[in-house]
Structure 1
């Protein structure tokens, strides 16, 4: 195995032997290659090394040029001017036809991309000329540029796709800063700089090794002994674990991802088919206490619209956010609080301490929660495959994206339509209308008011109980790497600044 192992290394900090290669250790690999259909942030981070989108973002959630050097908005139409000198890594120049074909394929129902709905009411995508693309929408849609900034909206080489020499499900061919040299599943990726990348002249890093190291202690060992330059941690305790490791600087990176407590409101055998039980449990939860105790103080209490995004709703005045066991008891109006199973999935270390904290808050209101941690396949089957779903309550997290109106769309249930939430969700009357008002608002005040309404409706229905925003920790060997980890990233791309990094020594 080429990845770091969990054996105990020397405790002494030694000079890096990585030469001109930047070595990164992450805890998870991906089996997804196609950015249009990838579902997980671990996939987006890898695909972002190879692909570019029309626009990108920064730690302030601003929209910045990428493949498009500029754009203008004319009513419900956007006209993008493509950057000169952009080439795919096979040497072919990017054209407007690649942009048009990529976005049309993304929107095609046959592609099956969940991201298609995030682009909004697109009616036409046309090439004005080789360097200009026009996208028309049927109505105002405030998250449009934010949706284009996602790796899911990456531009693919459509000529090669159409002539059958490129299959995005099995290989990567993009206009981004790196190309894939090799990949050993669940062990490592090898990347080299793309000489045709439009920003190649300003790049210092010429090669990257991404090691897949599931064990936190092994990633810390790699930072300590210098065999790893940058390491990623989802564990909220990582800053404490990294404290005192010589030459390592840690950044706690905020995101718009949010932890949710999901209650099974659709299965009649679940105690949470009863709305009063859902509301009572939600009312008992002290989010500030959860953040301090289970998340090491990292994160913010949130509604369904991520609190870390500008313009999101304030959780302070939402229904069922009282953090009051007595108020929870009053909601039940003499009925007994339920006994239930609380699922903590195995794929994040933070889920177990969150479950333990929620168990205490629930007990204070008379509930009896039994924590279970199923195998990964069992969790996916019981929560997202079976219909009705076979669980009472589960802790999970969901991407919040870049615009405050994007994540709440996950909570919309349309009768007769099937989604991954169908097995446990119930309709929230008025939510779809509130989100439509938010995404079509032409002024900030109207958008904020509509988002507040959406948050209130979700909090009142309480089959989704938003808890807190999710943070991650990145450790960097400062004697080896000169670069800044962004303090925030809406798409959880912690290496977004990699083209600005320089290697020392």
Structure 2
């Protein structure tokens, strides 16, 4: 099986020494925060207005079209967030700040009262009302999108007066505000939707800083400044063009030559390849993380043995995986993303203390007979093939033969998610980590997630911890629950978190200056674009 390499210049298989490598130029170095929580801050002396072009790796690919409530990908969240506003937003420390809600109170564990900024207006000129807010949240809770599960146990929504909306939960749910802070919870123009004036699947009508002028699938988006936006004086980008450019090398060239002001990259080699290009490169820690699925649900599979699954888990050296496949621009994580407040410490996981020799001993003691195991990856993200090679070497050193299979995305999901049980032994992929440690843990309960029933069992003790983590609000008690939850996931070893998925961002300082958070919970590297400042070259 030929697998694309981590380093651009590499032609052979990944070196057994498991060392990192770069593709030329300076080696990537750890980046200091210029201000607490930020890798970059906008230069407030830049006051020019003008157009800006951004390049991103892929377009929104949503079954629900442009309906933000049905959005499932980080790129959709970023693009939709340019038009739609949420009740609250997250800051660089994952604290909550006002959005369309100027304030909120929580009179008890299951009641939230939001005061709405009714000075906001949709881009058609109509003022935002509490009915838009209540209707949006009702539509979201009754919908079929992923985010209907993330906003938790919303029982009812009611308007109290012309400026206040009350949300009643059926039980305590600590991640509620974090779930409201992402664009699938963006407030919609319910009057126009209900009257049929707007088809939200094909049109965008929001209160946010930009107005969508056009969208050509897999080619580009064009946005104009929303002059009726209540903070329009802070928006200096008059026209925003987002080009969809699938190849990393093409986006790198555009950044070098100045045809784009901002671009993101899926390959960490971009840090070194563009080190001397004049672009400023950033490695943003994201709560997204890579995982390995170890499928113990197939009959007659050796992976039915939990002890063997745990031994395979323990044989994977996360830091070596980061150093080799991700040039050290990542870090190990447990099921609660380690860059979020209160998350468990991955160094304390049961598997972390076993070591390579101990893992080999556990594999031998399990009675594993040497049957080769397949490891699936999808080819749209080359780093997965690179990670698979490192894992293959680590497991072979522990006495397990691994065959890597690279598939297109559709074939991968057909094998891993479409049938119960899934038709595979092991598989690599990644999850969005979100903005609260409890949110992603819900996918470890197949009764909630649905899709994970193809490879993970439903465990009463783990499901109880997932529910407890979502309900607990006292910080110290919450951290203890997260620790126990992470340990339990680690011991079952079915959906095994590995390392964070870094976000590589390049900025042309001759064209744009902007804020960029050191940590991001929703994969939104465009989060601060509305307050970015164009710069005139030369």
For residue 330 of structure 1, the aligned residue among 361, 374, 398 is 361
Single out whichever of 269-278 and 374-383 deviates more from structure 2: 269-278
Partner of 1:31: 61
Partner of 1:249: 280
Q: Check if 1:379 corresponds to 2:412.
A: yes
Change (3 A) 1:323 1:195: farther
For residue 279 of structure 1, the aligned residue among 304, 310, 315 is 310
Give how far 1:283 is off.
Answer: 0.9
Give how far 1:185 is off.
Answer: 1.1
Partner of 1:97: 131
Partner of 1:397: 430
- Paired with 1:310 and 1:407, the residues of 2 have a C-alpha distance of 14
Partner of 1:349: 382
- Paired with 1:445 and 1:365, the residues of 2 have a C-alpha distance of 38
- Paired with 1:237 and 1:260, the residues of 2 have a C-alpha distance of 21
- Paired with 1:387 and 1:81, the residues of 2 have a C-alpha distance of 46
Task: Give the conservation status (yes or no) of the 8 Å contact 1:340–1:369.
Answer: yes
For residues 66-105 of structure 1, the aligned pairs below 5 Å read 66-75=99-108, 76-105=110-139
Partner of 1:359: 392
Task: Give the conservation status (yes or no) of the 8 Å contact 1:267–1:423.
Answer: no
Q: Check if 1:311 corresponds to 2:342.
A: yes
- Counterpart secondary structure, 1:91: coil
Deviations 1:471-503 (A, max 9, x none): 111111101112122222101110111121111
For residue 297 of structure 1, the aligned residue among 319, 328, 334 is 328
Single out whichever of 435-444 and 311-320 deviates more from structure 2: 435-444
- Paired with 1:151 and 1:482, the residues of 2 have a C-alpha distance of 24
Single out whichever of 314-323 and 371-380 deviates more from structure 2: 314-323
Partner of 1:340: 373
Coordinate RMSD, CA, aligned: 1.6
- Counterpart secondary structure, 1:421: helix
- Paired with 1:112 and 1:126, the residues of 2 have a C-alpha distance of 21
Give how far 1:19 is off.
Answer: 9.2
Single out whichever of 145-154 and 168-177 deviates more from structure 2: 168-177
TM-score normalised by the chain length of structure 2: 0.87
Partner of 2:140: 106
- Counterpart secondary structure, 1:385: coil
- Counterpart secondary structure, 1:355: helix
- Paired with 2:215 and 2:104, the residues of 1 have a C-alpha distance of 36
- Paired with 2:420 and 2:469, the residues of 1 have a C-alpha distance of 31
Task: Give the conservation status (yes or no) of the 8 Å contact 2:248–2:266.
Answer: no
- Paired with 1:322 and 1:268, the residues of 2 have a C-alpha distance of 30
Task: Give the conservation status (yes or no) of the 8 Å contact 2:49–2:533.
Answer: no
Change (3 A) 1:269 1:47: farther
- Paired with 1:378 and 1:245, the residues of 2 have a C-alpha distance of 38
Deviations 1:412-460 (A, max 9, x none): 133xx77111211112331121122222223111111111111111000
- Paired with 2:49 and 2:152, the residues of 1 have a C-alpha distance of 46
Partner of 2:289: 258
User: How many residues in Structure 1 have an aligned counterpart in Structure 2?
Assistant: 483
Task: Give the conservation status (yes or no) of the 8 Å contact 2:308–2:366.
Answer: no
- Counterpart secondary structure, 1:396: strand
Partner of 1:213: 245
- Paired with 1:323 and 1:190, the residues of 2 have a C-alpha distance of 52
Deviations 1:203-248 (A, max 9, x none): 11111110111111100110111111101112122211211112x1
For residues 398-477 of structure 1, the aligned pairs below 5 Å read 398-414=431-447, 419-477=450-508
- Paired with 2:346 and 2:385, the residues of 1 have a C-alpha distance of 24
Task: Give the conservation status (yes or no) of the 8 Å contact 1:300–1:308.
Answer: no
- Paired with 1:269 and 1:195, the residues of 2 have a C-alpha distance of 64
Partner of 1:487: 518
Deviations 1:172-202 (A, max 9, x none): 1111111111111111111111112121122
Partner of 2:20: none
Give how far 1:157 is off.
Answer: 0.6
Single out whichever of 150-159 and 317-326 deviates more from structure 2: 317-326
Q: Check if 1:192 corresponds to 2:224.
A: yes
Structure 2: state its 5+ residue gaps.
1-47
- Paired with 2:380 and 2:300, the residues of 1 have a C-alpha distance of 27
Change (3 A) 1:187 1:465: same
Consecutive aligned runs of 4 or more in structure 1 exceeding 6 Å deviation: none
Task: Give the conservation status (yes or no) of the 8 Å contact 2:442–2:449.
Answer: no
Deviations 1:243-284 (A, max 9, x none): 1112x1111111111110011122225442222221111010
Partner of 1:64: 97
